[in-house]
């Protein structure tokens, strides 16, 4: 940990001299380590996705510049090159940048925790710093918060962090509907005492459990769920040390905040809150928030962060009649009706088209008699005559044929093409896919099927199953996190294509979603199995595929339970607890998909473990997870010892990445092998925690 | 704490400090100001004007070539960028034009100096040039600027002279050096427009082979950068221009006090005065009057954008309307302390009270070429109510707020502010269902105003165009002509 | 250089009582011919052209002779043309130009004589030289003046076009070429606007814009429609009603008088009154060479041969086109109805007109 500047209050006298030390630093987490913006994030990092025609990160950097930050570190995970390229090209790295330094840090971190630990190692942070995610939009004046933070720091070195929270009423559009953070605050000391996330739906916790001592030791406490947590944290350097000291901290709130609060007795570190009541602050953390924040920006709530402030170099928006923000060189037809919208330059819109409450990017070409209502259309999109687009997101370079109908919540990916008269049902998404061999057999009307063939499209419509309504992006009130989408991401994009070849992808997508939904609803394993079997029959899927779906759903569920951050409802558990919980409850699901209990070669069991191994490859702390799962299935006798050992010896599980991820498990295997000899039972997992 | 002081949110103060430091390049100062303007960290006519003047002073200082054409070009470029950064702050453009005017004037004087240098030493005549009084005395500035605008014929001739360098000197037509020519030059500026029809080729008449192409440049461009670039300015041109900008800066800071100087002529004992917003200009004006007279001030609170400041002003704690943090004058003695009766009313009560009011005094954001003004929202309702009751409306405005821009598109001059001032953002249900608008400005048409008081004195609205003529060179009025990128 | 009219007019001196110098050409005919041959010419420019033609045919005399010649020609024109106001703008400008150029040049020589301390030329001599130079310049450049006058129209269009915003509804009347140029410029710019055109059901023959060679009123309408601008044609009786849907009114003018009022085609005054009462801006587009030094207080003061009210007790057929030659149908719109006057120098308030005029006269 870098030494802190010891000067304290005296430094105030000569600010000029110590400018170096005095500068406020900021860390922008450009990668959210989440998948809520999938599928867009396959091609572009989230922070570069346009919100009201401006990349998200611009808003964040603007906010930092506003706050007088001098040094910025942008921490990138996926697509780091794109972020770097963008930033190097922007005004922020130009000579006249308000920042004295702006560094892009690339890393392979897969969670906030890893990123923070990595940052600590890099030794870049020298004093108090702001920790924000790369999707914050705010016009907030941070000065009072900073002043308070510093005052506290002067009194006690243990006040390591101040969270800036925005007060809102109940049921606000930018608020997450999936989970509500609950802060227990001592209003006098402005100290956060307890933190919990509550879910709306079944399965989520509905109770806040307070340490009774809190009630006695504090004169006054507030339990608040009316705060928007924008993830704007003013941190002391010690925060990084905390992350480093606790290797199991993964997420900002669920593990870090809770961890620090829990350890208050031991270490005495305090975390404070600063509640803002005016001004604007929001985080574009999900597609739903994307919609809400876009509306806010259009409604000038984030003033002066408005389109017509033209904050990004080269923008030229002007606010005209009808609350339309237009850039230069926009060509509208004579009878085009545009209201409450933003239109980028070089876009042309044909006669008779109606555009309301929408954003249209640059260089778009919109034909005649097109209706666009509440949609977000990014750059270089072609929409041909007579199409109707409702609250959907159409990514850059895609094209929509004549007479298409795109319902609300639909997502059209980068570069996708829709042929004439297609219709896209609500909450589905369309992507350009280079694997030609997948066809949609679900819910796609004929026209779509034809478009699949002709334009190399894959049309996936998971909304067929009602359980998947949470895929809804804009209109759905369900959730911020769309777990099924995450699976889609893995199954259809992350997996090695050769591996997947010939698999019935749609089955996988559907089945996984349906299982997961069952898990989340705490359905009986029988019910889930029934549904699964029915589905398997109808699609003629193999047992391997069934297993694969089960594994995928289980893993997802486990990670939800752990990083409840993403809030599929329940509170956070340790990894071990989560694994145990899921497997105990639903062991039947596995047992009914493995049929080799009595056979000599435990093919199915090996297959199961192999699938688990493959699955955890992409997960944060996959190695730990694998260990826990292996132990758990063994302990519960779902997989026999032979199965485990056969899997371990299988060459497929030893190669490359696969080999790496199982390193931690080795001790368990060793233990097994020893146990075989010694017939001892042992508690091994203690060191793992 | 380490970071305790280094971090102050950027503002006019931080900008003026940074623009002066040599360590920061002009380019980054420009960009810095542009972002400050865009983020509205510098807002309000006075703050914008001051920032612009500081920046331009820096620009002028840093231009290496002492070539007038380049200098003008440079200032135009920077100016254009500033203007497009915040097109609603017309004061920026005003200052840019003023600075351009100073440069052109100095350049002309210099040439004057050079030619008259034939007969006597040019430099020591400089102190006599009345340029400096431009700021202070209206009469003088009128005469002066008229004279520098000069007649097109003369410019025409100058062109010719430049083209034929051999004829330099003796045959130069008189410009400012001869007081005898005042009679003629005085009438010149707008004759320009009418005579230009017939005039220009006369400059070419000694060479009858004039190609038709030479007719095209308008008279106003006769002092084009091309022409000017032929004349390398005297060494001290830069210093002169910087001094000129310094005077503009002084004017900017003194304007309010100068306006207040006219207070006693306009506010009489026992009058009832209605005002609106916490404009520093108006407050100073009223305070000045309060030194001698007892009167009543009815203060409309200007909800929702300015009511807090207005309330504070009522008890003598002016923080400025949009012009916060300029000057940082905590000069305030409350009006009440000065013996004035202050009544605070909601904006909605204005009409009801208007019949009892003797005079309405308004501050403004900007005054436009046609005499209309852009003022804090609510001003129009007040002016209109005053019209109905035939109550005189007096507008206080520094000359720097007087813009030669004609309001072709009113919408583009109006700014919509933060709706959360109207309804808090926390009211989720409301925010979702109702569109909330919070316009910051009103356009008050000229016919609702009876009198303007600037730092030059009181003017009828119809006279404003003369002041504009005096302060801005016609060739600078359209800043858009300059291609920047 | 302008080619003289093809048929050289017979040198019959017009029997004008004011005349004291005989004119070498028939100035009125030259004037009419010019207007006829170039439909884009404005009256003041035609007058200036006529005077230049006159100068070219008369031998160069002394300054005072020439000035006398010019003023007599001016008088002839003023008396023979039914509406002499527009042309007098041209003749006045021409005359003032010569005089003030002579003055300023002589003072410049004066100065140089002093400053350089050499060349003790006397004033008068310098004046004569200058006069010759001016005369030569005028003769050599008459085409240029015409062209400039036309360019002025383009400049006005470029300025006035900014009034036409996206989505606005513009009302106009008459055959003003300035207005037509403005609207066309806006249309070509891609501005989406609509036009309400008040048509004169009662066709006034020689009114509205000069030089219109019998073109139909709907010329503008046709041209705009050809550019895709929706135009509604309404009778004058419908102006008050249509104003409700109109954003602003823009009209042309024949002359702009000293107090900032305009002399324009019949109906303009009425439109101005209605616009005022409907609270709609009323813009006038006019080149600054149309400014003229007359100061009428109302229509009756206009020094034009106007058609009086034709009170009758017996029925009479309506007067057809071409009848009533020599009478003009113009009206006078007082300055208080005018929001702004757009000239090639920018947008001015009516009160600025007198200053412009004062500056060339004093």
Which residues in chain A are classed under CATH 1.25.40.180? 482-689
As a whole number, mean pLDDT of residues C273-282 equals: 94
Spatial distance between the Cα atoms of B3 and A234, rounded to a whole number of angstroms: 12
Residue B421 sits in a domain of what CATH number?
A: 3.40.50.10470
Q: Is there a domain that residue C337 lies in?
A: yes
- Between A236 and B1, name the one with better pLDDT: A236
Pairing relation of β-strands B373-376 and B441-444? Answer: antiparallel
C167 with A321: Cβ contact below 8 A? yes
Is residue C165 domain-shared with residue C274, that is, in the same domain? Answer: yes
For chain A, how far is it from start to end, CA to CA, in angstroms? 24
Measured between beta carbons, the chain C residues lying within 8 angstroms of A336 are 192
Is residue C125 domain-shared with residue C160, that is, in the same domain? Answer: no
Does the structure show a pLDDT above 50 at B375?
Answer: yes
Measured between beta carbons, the chain A residues lying within 8 angstroms of B419 are 299-301, 303
A7 with B2: Cβ contact below 8 A? yes
Q: Coil, helix or strand for B474? A: helix
Spatial distance between the Cα atoms of A112 and B271, rounded to a whole number of angstroms: 67
Q: Coil, helix or strand for A604? A: helix
pLDDT over 70, % of chain A: 78
Is residue C129 domain-shared with residue C216, that is, in the same domain? Answer: no
Does the structure show a pLDDT above 70 at C281?
Answer: yes
Q: From A337, which residue of chain C is nearest by alpha-carbon distance? A: C167
Q: How far is B317 from chain A (nearest CA, A)?
A: 21
C 340-359 residues inside an 8 A Cβ radius of A = none
Q: Residue B316's pLDDT is what?
A: 65
Q: Is there a domain that residue C250 lies in?
A: yes
Q: Residue A135's pLDDT is what?
A: 87
**Candidate from A50-59, A491-500, B380-389, C27-36 with smallest mean pLDDT:** A491-500
Is residue B278 domain-shared with residue B232, that is, in the same domain? Answer: no
Beta bridge partners of C235: C199
**Candidate from A377-391, C39-53, C210-224 with smallest mean pLDDT:** C210-224
Is residue B332 domain-shared with residue B307, that is, in the same domain? Answer: yes
Which residues in chain A are classed under CATH 3.90.550.10? 22-298
**Is the overall model pTM greater than 0.90, yes or no?**
no
Domain end point (choices B225, B254, B283): B254
Decide: residue C19, CB within 10 A, 0-12 exposed, 13-18 middle, 19+ buried: middle
Spatial distance between the Cα atoms of A602 and B462, rounded to a whole number of angstroms: 99
Residues C330, C343, B227: CA angle, nearest 5 degrees: 150
Q: Residue B333's pLDDT is what?
A: 65
Q: Is there a domain that residue C6 lies in?
A: no
**How high is the mean pLDDT of chain A?**
75
Quickly state the pLDDT bin for A564 (edges 50, 70, 90): low
As a whole number, mean pLDDT of residues A66-92 equals: 86
pLDDT tens digits for B326-343?
Answer: 333 444 567 888 888 888
Which residues in chain A are classed under CATH 2.160.10? 316-465
Q: Is there a domain that residue B356 lies in?
A: yes
As a whole number, mean pLDDT of residues A528-547 equals: 75
Residue with tokens 């830069």: B238
Q: Coil, helix or strand for A411? A: strand
Q: Residue B9's pLDDT is what?
A: 66
Q: Residue C125's pLDDT is what?
A: 54
Does the structure show a pLDDT above 90 at B360?
Answer: yes
CB–CB of A242/A256 below 8 Å? Answer: yes
- Between A71 and A623, name the one with better pLDDT: A71
Q: Coil, helix or strand for C18? A: coil
Q: Residue C111's pLDDT is what?
A: 52
CB–CB of B150/B468 below 8 Å? Answer: no
Q: Residue A107's pLDDT is what?
A: 79
Q: Residue C275's pLDDT is what?
A: 95
Q: Is there a domain that residue C194 lies in?
A: yes
Q: Is there a domain that residue C213 lies in?
A: yes
Residues C332, C334, C337: CA angle, nearest 5 degrees: 120
Measured between beta carbons, the chain B residues lying within 8 angstroms of C141 are 201
For testing contact with chain B, the best of C279, C351, C353 (most B CBs within 10 A)? C351
- Between A505 and A366, name the one with better pLDDT: A366
Does the structure show a pLDDT above 70 at C67?
Answer: yes
CB–CB of A273/A355 below 8 Å? Answer: no
Q: At what angle do helices B90-116 and B464-471 cross, to 10 degrees?
A: 50
Is residue B272 domain-shared with residue B413, that is, in the same domain? Answer: yes
Q: Residue A171's pLDDT is what?
A: 63
CATH of span A316-465 = 2.160.10
Q: Coil, helix or strand for A107? A: coil
Residues C51, C55, C57: CA angle, nearest 5 degrees: 115
Is residue C184 domain-shared with residue C315, that is, in the same domain? Answer: yes
Does the structure show a pLDDT above 60 at C203?
Answer: no
Spatial distance between the Cα atoms of B217 and B203, rounded to a whole number of angstroms: 12
Quickly state the pLDDT bin for A387 (edges 50, 70, 90): very high
Is residue C281 domain-shared with residue C347, that is, in the same domain? Answer: yes
Does the structure show a pLDDT above 60 at A565?
Answer: no
Residue B224: partners with Cβ closer than 8 Å, 6 or more residues away: B69, B217
Does the structure show a pLDDT above 90 at A370?
Answer: yes
As a dihedral over the C-alpha atoms of residue C261, residue C263, residue C267, residue C273, rounded to 10 degrees, the angle is 10
Residue with tokens 């606007």: C193
**How high is the mean pLDDT of chain C?**
78
Q: b/e map of C298-319 (b: 16 or more CB within 10 Å)?
A: ebeebebebbeeeeeeeeeeee
Domain end point (choices C109, C140, C171): C140
Is residue B397 domain-shared with residue B421, that is, in the same domain? Answer: yes
| Residue of A320, A321, A331 with shortest CB distance to C190 | A331
Quickly state the pLDDT bin for C105 (edges 50, 70, 90): low
Does the structure show a pLDDT above 60 at A648?
Answer: yes
Q: Is there a domain that residue C231 lies in?
A: yes
Residue A664 DSSP one-character state: G
Domain end point (choices C96, C119, C140): C140
Q: Is there a domain that residue B194 lies in?
A: yes
C228 with A320: Cβ contact below 8 A? no
For chain B, how far is it from start to end, CA to CA, in angstroms? 44
Is residue C125 domain-shared with residue C190, that is, in the same domain? Answer: no
Q: From A336, which residue of chain C is nearest by alpha-carbon distance? A: C192
pLDDT over 70, % of chain B: 68
For testing contact with chain B, the best of C96, C112, C137 (most B CBs within 10 A)? C137
E strands within B277-368?
296-300, 341-345, 359-362, 366-367
Q: Residue A378's pLDDT is what?
A: 92
Does the structure show a pLDDT above 80 at C147?
Answer: yes
Q: Is there a domain that residue C147 lies in?
A: no
Q: Coil, helix or strand for B342? A: strand
| 3-state per-residue secondary structure call for B412-426 | HHCCECCHHHCCCCC
Name the class of domain A482-689.
mainly alpha
Q: Is there a domain that residue B344 lies in?
A: yes
Q: Residue B27's pLDDT is what?
A: 83
The string of DSSP codes covering C22-88 is --SS-HHHHHHHHHHH-TT--HHHHHHHHHHHHHHHSPP--HHHHHHHHHHHHHHHHHHSS-HHHHH
Does the structure show a pLDDT above 80 at B71?
Answer: yes
CB–CB of C331/C251 below 8 Å? Answer: no
Domain end point (choices B201, B236, B254): B254
- Please tell me the total count of domains within chain C: 2
pLDDT tens digits for C172-195?
Answer: 998 888 999 999 999 988 888 999
Is residue B273 domain-shared with residue B206, that is, in the same domain? Answer: no
CB–CB of A285/A135 below 8 Å? Answer: yes
Q: Residue B451's pLDDT is what?
A: 94
CB–CB of A346/A328 below 8 Å? Answer: no
Is residue B227 domain-shared with residue B281, that is, in the same domain? Answer: no
pLDDT over 90, % of chain A: 10
As a whole number, mean pLDDT of residues A27-33 equals: 82
Other beta carbons less than 10 A from residue C219's beta carbon: 13
Q: From A316, which residue of chain B is nearest by alpha-carbon distance? A: B84
Q: At what angle do helices C63-80 and C27-37 cross, to 10 degrees?
A: 70
pLDDT tens digits for B184-198?
Answer: 333 333 345 577 777
Spatial distance between the Cα atoms of B298 and B26, rounded to a whole number of angstroms: 46
For testing contact with chain C, the best of B194, B210, B463 (most C CBs within 10 A)? B194
C336 touches chain A (CB under 8 A): no
Other beta carbons less than 10 A from residue A496's beta carbon: 8
**Chains near A (3 or more Cβ pairs under 8 Å):** B, C
Q: How far is B477 from chain C (nearest CA, A)?
A: 10
Structure tokens at A109: 């971190």
C166 with A320: Cβ contact below 8 A? yes
| Residue of C116, C141, C360 with shortest CB distance to B194 | C360
**Candidate from A285-289, A517-521, B279-283 with smallest mean pLDDT:** A517-521
Does the structure show a pLDDT above 50 at A451?
Answer: no
Does the structure show a pLDDT above 80 at B239?
Answer: yes
E strands within C178-261?
194-199, 231-235, 248-252, 255-256
**Candidate from A51-65, A497-511, B171-185, C48-62 with smallest mean pLDDT:** B171-185
Does the structure show a pLDDT above 90 at B379?
Answer: yes
The string of DSSP codes covering A458-489 is EEE-GGGSGGGGGG--SS--S-S--HHHHHHI
Spatial distance between the Cα atoms of A173 and B426, rounded to a whole number of angstroms: 10
Does the structure show a pLDDT above 70 at A113?
Answer: yes
Other beta carbons less than 10 A from residue A277's beta carbon: 10
For testing contact with chain C, the best of A328, A332, A334 (most C CBs within 10 A)? A334
Does the structure show a pLDDT above 90 at C21?
Answer: no
Across the beta sheet with B373-376, the strand order is: B366-367, B373-376, B441-444
- Between B62 and A672, name the one with better pLDDT: B62
Is residue B196 domain-shared with residue B312, that is, in the same domain? Answer: no
CB–CB of B259/B457 below 8 Å? Answer: no
CB–CB of C105/C130 below 8 Å? Answer: yes
Residue B92: partners with Cβ closer than 8 Å, 6 or more residues away: B37, B48, B49, B52, B79, B82, B83, B86
As a whole number, mean pLDDT of residues A16-33 equals: 68
Is residue B111 domain-shared with residue B177, that is, in the same domain? Answer: yes
pLDDT over 70, % of chain C: 78
B214 touches chain C (CB under 8 A): no
Quickly state the pLDDT bin for C241 (edges 50, 70, 90): very high
Size of interface A-C (CB pairs under 8 A): 12
Quickly state the pLDDT bin for A568 (edges 50, 70, 90): very low
Q: Residue B237's pLDDT is what?
A: 81
- Between A499 and C243, name the one with better pLDDT: C243
Segments in B376-461 forming alpha helices (H)? 379-388, 410-413, 428-433
Q: Is there a domain that residue B39 lies in?
A: yes
Q: Is there a domain that residue C2 lies in?
A: no
Does the structure show a pLDDT above 70 at B284?
Answer: yes
Quickly state the pLDDT bin for B212 (edges 50, 70, 90): very low
Quickly state the pLDDT bin for A505 (edges 50, 70, 90): low
Residue A403: partners with Cβ closer than 8 Å, 6 or more residues away: A384, A385, A386, A387, A420, A421
Domain end point (choices B199, B219, B254): B254
Is residue C164 domain-shared with residue C312, that is, in the same domain? Answer: yes
Asked if the A22-298 domain carries CATH number 3.50.50.100, the reply is: no
Is residue C196 domain-shared with residue C49, that is, in the same domain? Answer: no
CB–CB of C338/C260 below 8 Å? Answer: yes
Across the beta sheet with A411-412, the strand order is: A318-320, A324-326, A342-343, A359-360, A376-377, A393-394, A411-412, A429-432, A457-460
Question: Which residues span the domain enclosing B394?
Answer: 261-454
A339 touches chain C (CB under 8 A): no
Does the structure show a pLDDT above 70 at A544?
Answer: yes
Quickly state the pLDDT bin for B385 (edges 50, 70, 90): very high
- Between B220 and B479, name the one with better pLDDT: B479
Residues making up chain B, counted from first to last:
485
Q: Residue B193's pLDDT is what?
A: 55
As a whole number, mean pLDDT of residues A650-663 equals: 75
Q: Residue C122's pLDDT is what?
A: 47
pLDDT tens digits for A308-334?
Answer: 888 888 888 888 877 889 888 888 888
Is residue C212 domain-shared with residue C325, that is, in the same domain? Answer: yes
Question: Which residues span the domain enclosing C133?
Answer: 27-140
Spatial distance between the Cα atoms of C195 and B274, rounded to a whole number of angstroms: 42
For chain C, how far is it from start to end, CA to CA, in angstroms? 31
- Between B485 and A136, name the one with better pLDDT: A136
Whether the CA torsion A344, A345, A350, A351 is positive or negative: it is positive
Does the structure show a pLDDT above 60 at B170?
Answer: no
Spatial distance between the Cα atoms of A419 and A403, rounded to a whole number of angstroms: 9
Is residue B265 domain-shared with residue B281, that is, in the same domain? Answer: yes
Establish whether the linkage from the previous residue to C49 is cis, with ω within 30° of 0: no
As a whole number, mean pLDDT of residues C62-74 equals: 85
Q: Residue C110's pLDDT is what?
A: 52
Is residue C130 domain-shared with residue C157, that is, in the same domain? Answer: no
Q: Provide ipTM, 2 decimals.
A: 0.75
Q: Coil, helix or strand for B470? A: helix
| 3-state per-residue secondary structure call for B12-31 | HHHHHHHHHCCCCCHHHHHH
């Amino acid at each position: 940990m870098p030494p802190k500047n010891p000067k304290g209050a005296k430094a105030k006298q000569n600010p000029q001299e110590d400018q170096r030390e005095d500068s406020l630093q900021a860390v922008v987490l450009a990668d959210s380590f989440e998948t809520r913006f999938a599928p867009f994030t396959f091609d572009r990092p989230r922070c570069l996705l346009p919100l009201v025609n401006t990349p998200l990160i611009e808003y964040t950097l603007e906010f930092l510049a506003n706050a007088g930050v001098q040094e910025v570190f942008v921490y990138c995970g996926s697509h780091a090159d794109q972020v770097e390229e963008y930033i190097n090209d922007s005004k922020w790295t130009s000579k006249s940048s308000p920042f004295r330094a702006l560094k892009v840090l690339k890393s392979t971190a897969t969670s906030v925790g890893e990123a923070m630990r990595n940052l600590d190692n890099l030794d870049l942070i020298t004093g108090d710093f702001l920790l924000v995610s790369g999707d914050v939009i705010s016009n907030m004046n941070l000065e009072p918060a900073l002043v308070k933070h510093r005052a506290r720091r002067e009194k006690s070195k243990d006040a390591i962090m101040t969270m800036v929270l925005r007060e809102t009423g109940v049921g606000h559009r930018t608020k997450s509907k999936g989970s509500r953070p609950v802060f227990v605050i001592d209003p006098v000391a402005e100290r956060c005492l307890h933190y919990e996330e509550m879910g709306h739906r079944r399965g989520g916790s509905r109770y806040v459990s307070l340490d009774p001592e809190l009630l006695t030791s504090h004169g006054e406490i507030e339990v608040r769920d009316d705060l928007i947590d924008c993830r704007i944290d003013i941190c002391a350097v010690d925060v990084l040390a905390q992350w480093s000291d606790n290797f199991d901290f993964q997420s900002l709130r669920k593990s870090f905040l809770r961890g620090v609060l829990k350890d208050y007795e031991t270490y005495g570190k305090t975390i404070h809150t600063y509640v803002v009541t005016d001004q604007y602050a929001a985080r574009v953390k999900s597609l739903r928030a994307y919609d809400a924040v876009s509306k806010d920006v259009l409604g000038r709530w984030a003033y002066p962060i408005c389109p017509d402030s033209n904050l990004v170099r080269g923008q030229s928006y002007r606010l005209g009649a009808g609350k339309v923000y237009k850039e230069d060189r926009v060509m509208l037809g004579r009878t085009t009706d545009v209201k409450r919208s933003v239109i980028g330059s070089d876009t042309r819109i044909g006669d008779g088209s109606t555009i309301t409450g929408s954003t249209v990017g640059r260089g778009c070409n919109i034909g005649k008699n097109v209706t666009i209502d509440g949609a977000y259309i990014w750059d270089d999109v072609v929409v041909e005559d007579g199409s109707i687009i409702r609250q959907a997101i159409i990514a850059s370079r895609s094209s929509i044929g004549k007479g298409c109908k795109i319902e609300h919540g639909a997502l059209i990916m980068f570069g996708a093409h829709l042929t004439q008269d297609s219709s896209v049902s609500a909450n589905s998404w369309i992507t350009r896919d280079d694997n030609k061999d997948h066809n949609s057999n679900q819910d796609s009307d004929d026209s779509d099927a034809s478009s699949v063939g002709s334009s190399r499209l894959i049309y996936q419509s998971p909304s067929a199953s009602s359980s998947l309504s949470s895929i809804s992006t804009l209109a759905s009130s369900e959730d911020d996190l769309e777990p099924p989408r995450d699976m889609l991401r893995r199954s259809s994009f992350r997996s090695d294509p050769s591996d997947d070849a010939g698999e019935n992808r749609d089955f996988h997508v559907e089945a996984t979603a349906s299982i997961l939904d069952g898990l989340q609803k705490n359905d009986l394993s029988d019910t889930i199995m029934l549904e699964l079997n029915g589905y398997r029959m109808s699609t003629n899927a193999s047992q391997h595929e069934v297993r694969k779906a089960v594994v995928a759903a289980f893993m997802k569920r486990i990670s939800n339970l752990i990083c409840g951050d993403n809030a599929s409802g329940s509170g956070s558990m340790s990894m071990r607890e989560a694994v145990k919980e899921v497997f105990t409850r639903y062991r039947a699901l596995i047992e009914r998909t493995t049929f080799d209990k009595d056979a000599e070669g435990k093919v199915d069991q090996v297959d199961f473990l192999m699938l688990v191994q493959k699955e955890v490859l992409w997960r944060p702390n996959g190695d730990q997870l694998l260990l826990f799962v292996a132990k758990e299935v063994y302990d519960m006798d779902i997989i026999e010892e032979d199965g485990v050992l056969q899997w371990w010896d299988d060459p497929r599980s030893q190669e490359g990445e696969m080999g790496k991820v199982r390193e931690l498990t080795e001790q368990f295997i060793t233990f097994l092998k020893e146990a075989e000899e010694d017939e001892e039972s042992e508690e091994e997992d203690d060191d793992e925690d | 704490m380490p970071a305790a002081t280094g971090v102050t949110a950027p503002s006019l103060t931080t900008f003026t400090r940074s623009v002066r430091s040599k360590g920061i390049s002009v380019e980054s100062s420009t960009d810095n100001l542009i972002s400050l303007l865009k983020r509205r960290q510098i807002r309000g006519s006075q703050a914008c004007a001051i920032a612009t003047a500081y920046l331009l002073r820096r620009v002028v200082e840093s231009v290496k070539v002492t070539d007038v054409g380049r200098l003008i070009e440079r200032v135009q470029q920077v100016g254009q960028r500033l203007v497009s950064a915040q097109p609603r702050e017309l004061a920026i453009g005003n200052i840019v034009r003023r600075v351009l005017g100073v440069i052109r004037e100095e350049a002309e004087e210099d040439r004057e100096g050079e030619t008259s240098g034939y007969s006597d030493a040019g430099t020591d005549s400089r102190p006599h040039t009345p340029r400096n009084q431009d700021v202070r005395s209206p009469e003088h500035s009128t005469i002066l600027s008229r004279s520098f605008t000069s007649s097109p014929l003369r410019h025409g001739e100058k062109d010719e002279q430049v083209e034929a360098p051999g004829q330099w000197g003796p045959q130069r037509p008189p410009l400012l050096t001869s007081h005898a020519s005042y009679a003629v030059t005085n009438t010149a500026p707008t004759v320009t427009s009418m005579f230009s029809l017939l005039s220009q080729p006369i400059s070419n008449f000694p060479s009858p082979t004039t190609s038709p192409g030479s007719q095209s440049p308008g008279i106003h461009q006769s002092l084009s950068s091309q022409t000017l670039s032929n004349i390398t300015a005297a060494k001290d041109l830069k210093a002169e221009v910087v001094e000129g900008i310094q005077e503009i800066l002084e004017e900017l800071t003194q304007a309010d006090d100068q306006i207040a100087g006219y207070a006693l002529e306009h506010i009489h004992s026992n009058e009832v005065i209605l005002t609106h917003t916490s404009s520093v200009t108006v407050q100073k004006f009223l305070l000045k009057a309060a030194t001698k007279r007892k009167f009543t001030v009815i203060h409309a609170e200007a909800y929702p954008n300015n009511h807090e400041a207005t309330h504070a002003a009522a008890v003598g704690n002016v923080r400025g309307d949009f012009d916060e943090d300029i000057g940082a004058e905590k000069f305030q003695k409350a009006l009440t302390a000065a013996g004035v009766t202050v009544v605070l009313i909601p904006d909605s009560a204005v009409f009801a009270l208007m019949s009892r009011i003797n005079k309405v005094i308004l501050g403004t954001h900007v005054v436009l070429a046609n005499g209309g003004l852009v003022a804090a929202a609510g001003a129009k309702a007040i002016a209109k109510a005053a019209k109905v009751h035939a109550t005189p409306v007096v507008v206080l405005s520094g000359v720097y707020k007087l813009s030669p821009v004609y309001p072709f598109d009113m919408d583009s001059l109006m700014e919509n502010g933060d709706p959360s001032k109207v309804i808090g953002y926390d009211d989720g249900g409301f925010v979702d269902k109702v569109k909330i608008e919070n316009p910051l400005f009103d356009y008050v048409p000229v016919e609702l105003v009876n009198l303007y008081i600037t730092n030059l004195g009181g003017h009828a609205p119809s006279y404003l165009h003369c002041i504009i003529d005096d302060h801005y060179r016609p060739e600078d009025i359209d800043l858009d002509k300059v291609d920047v990128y | 250089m302008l080619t003289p009219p093809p048929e050289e007019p017979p040198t019959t001196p017009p029997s004008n009582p004011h005349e004291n110098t005989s004119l070498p050409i028939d100035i009125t005919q030259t004037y009419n011919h010019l207007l006829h041959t170039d439909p884009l010419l404005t009256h003041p420019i035609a007058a200036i052209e006529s005077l230049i033609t006159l100068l070219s045919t008369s031998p160069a005399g002394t300054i005072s002779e020439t000035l006398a010649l010019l003023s007599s020609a001016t008088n002839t024109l003023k008396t023979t043309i039914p509406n002499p106001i527009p042309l007098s703008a041209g003749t006045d400008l021409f005359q003032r130009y010569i005089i003030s150029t002579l003055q300023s040049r002589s003072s410049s020589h004066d100065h140089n004589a002093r400053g350089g301390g050499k060349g003790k030329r006397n004033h008068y001599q310098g004046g004569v030289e200058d006069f010759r130079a001016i005369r030569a310049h005028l003769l050599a450049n008459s085409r240029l003046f015409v062209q400039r006058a036309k360019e002025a129209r383009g400049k006005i269009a470029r300025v006035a076009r900014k009034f036409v915003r996206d989505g606005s509804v513009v009302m106009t009347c008459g055959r003003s070429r300035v207005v037509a140029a403005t609207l066309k410029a806006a249309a070509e710019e891609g501005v989406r606007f609509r036009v309400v055109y008040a048509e004169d059901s009662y066709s006034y023959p020689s009114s509205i814009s000069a030089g219109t060679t019998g073109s139909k009123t709907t010329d503008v309408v046709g041209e705009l429609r050809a550019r895709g601008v929706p135009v509604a044609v309404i009778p004058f009786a419908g102006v008050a009603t249509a104003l409700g849907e109109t954003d602003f009114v823009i009209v042309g003018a024949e002359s702009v008088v000293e107090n900032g009022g305009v002399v324009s085609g019949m109906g303009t005054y009425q439109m101005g009154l209605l616009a005022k009462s409907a609270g709609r801006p009323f813009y006038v587009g006019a080149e600054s060479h149309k400014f003229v030094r007359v100061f009428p207080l109302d229509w009756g003061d206009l020094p034009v041969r106007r058609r009086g009210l034709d009170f009758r007790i017996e029925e009479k057929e309506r007067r057809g086109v071409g009848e009533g030659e020599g009478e003009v149908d113009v009206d006078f719109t007082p300055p208080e109805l005018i929001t702004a006057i757009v000239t090639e120098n920018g947008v001015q308030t009516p009160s600025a007109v007198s200053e412009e005029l004062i500056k060339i006269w004093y």
